[in-house]
Structure 1
């Protein structure tokens, strides 16, 4: 039950895990559908928080980088049972689909001619899902001339330069343009109950989020470790995703396909399979980590270096590294933002910048859709 202020009474971490696990087993349909399942379970059925508090949390997580539904679950777990509750809420919601995607990676790794039609169907499913996501997001986030221009510019840049860092640059540029050319939304909100972490923890988490973005790419080029490379690729993908799970597609594609970690066919088939399992779409990372081909990713390294040290981990180890890395930014930004959300969201410059970022990610998703269509056409020849 909740108090009249909307603050939830404490709950045991195991109770939080059990509820999240059930949601992870039954929540089909993508991030928007997940938010509906969460409301039914947390607000209506269990009354762990009231409607206003839930709306505040959703508004916060929709404005942060990362998977919205997972971040909402993390925030509710944090408010209900502290940091351990946040972790177990994520684990319960994520574990079922992560296991299913790892199993699919092993199955696809033993692909024979009989399964080729299945892969083709999954490719078509992925194209349909992304096309629908582009349409829905464009209507919501790029509906007027300036936002449409930012979105189309992002598409052009992403198609012109196929580099893993271009996606990040496009997002930053879109936010900068939004700051100066888009009006503020005029919306402010607040999380209206105590948060069980202080400003000091929030500052540490925010600093760690930024530090990892700076340090991991440097470590990647100085430490001959495939595990570091894998962690860096998936951490950056999770750290720069705005707008929902589907937006991670172009970021991950640029990280794993050009270096040959997985083939384009494997990538698209896995993305199609991710639509058929419950839970967060980000568990696509578990599939990619498991499916990575066992060959050196650093072709320019000295032959003196042990080759096993530069092979990206695959199988269960690769899946675990990829999954932890892509979700870690979600924990850090929720812990950093929740204590001071109202003050930040009320600032006009932040509203304008976020509007630009949202338009930019629509453009990135459109570029990914074009790439999927071209790949499907090429595979039919």
Structure 2
């Protein structure tokens, strides 16, 4: 079971271009619609929890899905599989300092894959909207969230909208006649202690690689697009502006989690042992969110079955639809090609995705080839 989970997420780690919004679309298509590892309600509950926690929401969602399938060991296997391709690519970039030249073949391929991300995220927005926006109130919440976050995509607005929507939906939900006491297991206690202990150690050794990236992973809400600029001031100028921008661009071009940018920075900071420090930085930036998710997950599984919490989850996921729609506008659409040919290719791709008959891997190959032919100098 664990090995099969690893291979499935390794495959996704190789083809999941487009950032966190696209990853949610891939996960829903593969694990809810095609493989039926979990149902829509379970997917919605996991997504809602991951939206509230710091760290990489899409990677945490993959971890939560795998934990439902085969426990924590499967979750760890999913994390390794999904992260490994981007980790290796970012370390290679740091070691060889490859240049991504605009107008080159690489640029054309990346442009084609960005266009595929437009298609995948559009499908995710439509699919999630059909499941999460079934009442006038949830539709209104999703539209309002999309408008607000299109104007200001910040963690503060994201969290505020989710809290307001959850409170509103819980207030309007069915009254709870009787709620049994929640069971707090030893995993929750152990994870909270580990989180606090690591935070204390990082405070004592604040200049270390682990402390810098652990702090970033603890403070970031909203996914990879937020962690990238947050890391720059934490590095205190130890990475040159050119090196930082090169890694920033590459993190948005490679498949898998954008948090793998930490691997690039760790390798650049210590070129004497790039693989080791890339691994330290990567583990540090992912650790806070995964420790919290592991600890809270047991309580969340109990809570997510209660009527008031189900109503609150509906509110959070209506905001998530709006967040996904806002991310589709910027940065997904804004960074993709905009000419008539690109529009036609996107329409054909969307029809193929909606048909559920065309494998994602085939679409990756087709869009990469089209990008190399159409968008290269």
TM-score by length of 1: 0.61
Aligned to 1:218: 204
Shift of 1:141: 7.3
Q: Does 1:199 align with 2:185?
A: yes
- Among candidates 273, 279, 287, match of residue 328 of structure 1: 287
Deviations 1:223-256, CA, capped at 9 Å, x for gaps: xxxxxx1000001111111112111023211112
Residues 39-54 of structure 1 correspond to what in structure 2 (within 5 A)? 39-54=28-43
- Among candidates 128, 131, 140, match of residue 145 of structure 2: 140
Alignment gaps of 5+ in structure 1: 1-11, 155-170, 190-196, 222-228, 295-312, 359-368, 370-381
Q: Is 1:290–1:314's contact at 8 Å kept on the other side of the alignment?
A: yes
Shift of 1:185: 3.9
CA distance change for structure 1 residues 102 and 74 in 2, over 3 Å: closer, same or farther?
Answer: same
- Among candidates 215, 229, 235, match of residue 250 of structure 1: 229
Cα distance in 2 for partners of 1:86, 1:116 equals: 33
CA distance change for structure 1 residues 17 and 116 in 2, over 3 Å: closer, same or farther?
Answer: closer
Q: Does 1:96 align with 2:85?
A: yes
What is the RMSD computed on CA atoms of the aligned residues?
A: 4.1
Aligned to 2:49: 60
TM-score by length of 2: 0.61
Residues 75-224 of structure 1 correspond to what in structure 2 (within 5 A)? 75-108=64-97, 115=99, 140=145, 143=148, 185-187=167-169, 199-220=185-206
CA distance change for structure 1 residues 94 and 138 in 2, over 3 Å: closer, same or farther?
Answer: farther
Instruction: Give 3-state SS (helix, strand or coil) of 1:242's partner.
Output: coil
- Among candidates 227, 230, 243, match of residue 209 of structure 2: 230
CA distance change for structure 1 residues 182 and 80 in 2, over 3 Å: closer, same or farther?
Answer: closer
Shift of 1:335: 0.8
Q: Does 1:316 align with 2:275?
A: yes
Higher relative contact order (CA 8 A, sep 6+): 2
Q: Is 2:228–2:261's contact at 8 Å kept on the other side of the alignment?
A: no
Aligned to 2:297: 338
Deviations 1:315-367, CA, capped at 9 Å, x for gaps: 111101001111111211111221222649968xx99xx9xxx9xxxxxxxxx
Moved over 3 A (4+): 115-119, 137-142, 181-185, 342-347
Shift of 1:210: 2.6
Aligned to 1:277: 254
Q: Is the helix fraction higher in 1 or 2?
A: 2
Cα distance in 2 for partners of 1:95, 1:237 equals: 20
CA distance change for structure 1 residues 116 and 324 in 2, over 3 Å: closer, same or farther?
Answer: closer
Q: Is 1:290–1:316's contact at 8 Å kept on the other side of the alignment?
A: yes
Q: Is 2:263–2:279's contact at 8 Å kept on the other side of the alignment?
A: yes
Cα distance in 2 for partners of 1:287, 1:280 equals: 13
Q: Is 1:261–1:293's contact at 8 Å kept on the other side of the alignment?
A: no
Cα distance in 1 for partners of 2:53, 2:80 equals: 20
CA distance change for structure 1 residues 138 and 234 in 2, over 3 Å: closer, same or farther?
Answer: farther
Cα distance in 1 for partners of 2:188, 2:21 equals: 27
Alignment gaps of 5+ in structure 2: 119-141, 174-182, 321-330, 332-377
Shift of 1:203: 2.1
Shift of 1:186: 2.6
Aligned to 1:35: 24
Cα distance in 1 for partners of 2:88, 2:72 equals: 24
CA distance change for structure 1 residues 50 and 233 in 2, over 3 Å: closer, same or farther?
Answer: same
